[in-house]
Copies of this chain bind each other. A is one copy, B any other.
Amino acid sequence: MAECEHDHDGPEGLSGHHLSHALHDAEDRCVRAGERMTQPRRRALELLLEAGKPMKAYDLIEIFGEDGRPAKPPTVYRALDFLAKLGLAHRIESLNAYVACEMGERNHAAAFLICDCCGATEEVEPFAPEKVQAAASKSGYIIEAVTVEAHGRCGACAS
């Protein structure tokens, strides 16, 4: 999947007070949803936010323990499922990876631009949700969720 040999590192994630602010926001949102921001859930989100790009579940598993010890897979998968359910993170199907949500509260639906070179992704507004519904109802389908993942190269990697 790494299709070019550019010499740059790709995207940066959050750290310091940006990170703690984001985590605090998430906790808030969580409480308002009537859910609990437990330790493993917070840790999973923290790692995604720090990374600033999609992370594989097993990469998170490796670095999950604050003491450097890996987590058990179900711990991480449960946390990621939870974050996805709340919209705090998204699963990128075409990468088998997870990324922290970059949108605010109001965006359940998401679409992604994905750089196959450096691994960066950008979360964008879904492109034409009404067209999806229209095409679907023409075929009799009721649509509940749409995956949109556009692969290519980011500005830095394309140049």
Q: Which residues of A contact B (CB under 8 A)?
A: 93-94, 111, 113, 115-116, 122, 124-125, 127-128, 131-132, 135-136, 139-156, 158
Contact = CB atoms under 8 A, between A and B. Distances in A.
B124 A135 contact: yes
A31 B116 CA distance: 30
18 contacts: A93-B93, A93-B147, A122-B139, A122-B141, A124-B139, A132-B150, A136-B150, A139-B154, A140-B156, A141-B153, A142-B153, A143-B152, A144-B152, A145-B152, A146-B149, A146-B150, A147-B148, A148-B148
Contacts of A146: 148-151
User: Would you list the 5 A-B pairs with minimal beta carbon distance, nearest first?
Assistant: A140-B155, A128-B128, A143-B152, A93-B93, A127-B131
Q: How many copies, total?
A: 2
A32 B17 CA distance: 59
A158 B131 contact: no
A148 B115 CA distance: 17
A11 B69 CA distance: 48
